[in-house]
Amino acid sequence: MIVVVYLVVLVAGFFFLIVRPQRRQMAARRALIASVGVGDRVVTSGGIHGIVRTLGDDSVELEIAPAVVVTVARGAIAGRVPDDDVLGPGDVGQLRSADFEDDEPDHDLPDDGPDEGRPDAAGGAG
């Protein structure tokens, strides 16, 4: 009798700790995919950011750059991107390390010149 009680408690614990949260997560994902519309900014599960241009039953066309449209599966949409998280064409600056404090261009290393006579990446001579 005690074994049956332990088994019931184990099954109930598994249900409330594993199955129920997974069902909620799946329902939220289905709601997200169903609510995506034309013009929404989205990110795919592969990390591609784009704007939804057309919607099909199983596919979505995303514009990932001006005049570059890719077709992805509708289930590949991982989430929406808020408009304030997207950089505009003039918002991109020069990339620097966060720890790099010297932004003076005259402090950069000089160009070495041509790569003649140097070994290439495979280890052979240039």
Structural domain spans, the chain: 2-87
- d(Cα 86, Cα 94) in Å, to the nearest integer? 17
CATH number of the domain at 2-87, out of 3.40.50, 1.25.40, 3.30.1490, 2.30.30? Answer: 2.30.30
- Beta strands 49-55; 59-65: pairing state: antiparallel
pTM for the model: 0.55
3-state secondary structure 52-109: EEEECCCEEEEEEECCEEEEEEHHHEEEECCHHHCCCCCCCCCCCCCCCCCCCHHHCC
Whole-number pLDDT of residue 116: 60
How high is the pLDDT of residue 92? 46
Reading the chain (126 residues) residue by residue, the pLDDT tens digits are 888 999 999 988 888 888 888 999 999 999 999 999 999 999 999 999 999 999 999 999 999 998 899 999 999 999 998 876 555 554 444 445 555 565 666 666 666 566 566 665 555 554
pLDDT of residue 1: 85
pLDDT of residue 126: 47
pLDDT reported for residue 85: 56
Q: What is the pLDDT of residue 101?
A: 60
Distances (CA, A) of 116 to 10, 19, 111, 123: 70, 63, 14, 14
